[in-house]
Amino acid sequence: MKNPRVKTPAGRLISPPMEIVPIDIFGVHVEVPFPAPLGISQAELEEFGAKICEPAKGLGLRPDQIRLKKWDELYGYEMSAQFFGENGTLSRTADRVKIGVRNARTAGDWTIIQQTLLRFYTLMGFPPTTISAVSTHVHAKFPTTLERDQWLAQFSYSPRFIGRPAALGFVQIADWEKEIRVLIEQSNAVPDAVFVMWDTQFANMQEWETFLLSLPTMMENSVNIFDLGFEPLRERV
Q: What are phi and psi of 213, to 5 degrees?
A: -65, -20
The size of the chain, in residues, is 237
Window from 72-81, 93-102, 136-145, 152-161 with minimum mean pLDDT:
152-161
Q: 184: pLDDT confidence band, cut at 50, 70 and 90?
A: very high
Q: Using pLDDT thresholds of 50, 70 and 90, give the confidence band for residue 168.
A: very high
In this structure, what are the phi and psi dihedrals at residue 157, rounded to the nearest 5 degrees? Answer: -95, -5
Please report, for the chain, the start and end positions of each structural domain, with discontinuous segments joined by +. Answer: 16-35+96-237, 38-94
**Where does the pLDDT of residue 4 fall: very low under 50, low under 70, confident under 90, or very high at 90 and above?**
very low
Q: What is the pLDDT of residue 157?
A: 76
Give the count of alpha carbons within 13 A of 163, CB side only.
0
**Minimum mean pLDDT range among 11-20, 89-98, 102-111, 183-192:** 11-20
Residue 102: CB atoms within 10 A of its CB come to 16
DSSP string, 73-140: SSS-EEEEEEETTTTEEEEEESSEEEEEEEEE-BHHHHHHHHHHHHHHHHHH---TT-EEEEEEEEEE
Determine the pLDDT at residue 16: 63
Contact at 8 Å (CB) between 16 and 227? yes
Residue 163's pLDDT is: 74
Instruction: Say what the pLDDT of residue 234 is.
Output: 95
The dihedral over CA atoms of 4, 5, 8, 14, expressed in degrees to the nearest 10, equals 110
Q: What is the pLDDT of residues 88-105, one digit of tens each?
A: 999 999 999 999 999 999
pLDDT band at 156 (very low <50, low <70, confident <90, very high): confident
Question: Looking at the predicted structure, is the pLDDT value of residue 8 above 50?
Answer: no
Give the mean pLDDT of 4-8. Answer: 43
Task: Write the CB contacts of 164 (distance below 8 Å, at least 6 apart in sequence).
Answer: 152, 185, 186
Cβ atoms of 82 and 88 within 8 Å: the answer is yes
User: Average pLDDT for residues 203-222, to the nearest whole number?
Assistant: 96
Contacts of residue 154, defined as CB under 8 A and 6 or more positions apart, other chains included, come to 2, 4, 5, 16, 165, 227
Q: Is the pTM of this model over 0.85?
A: yes
DSSP assignment of 220-232, as one string? HHHHGGGTEEEPP
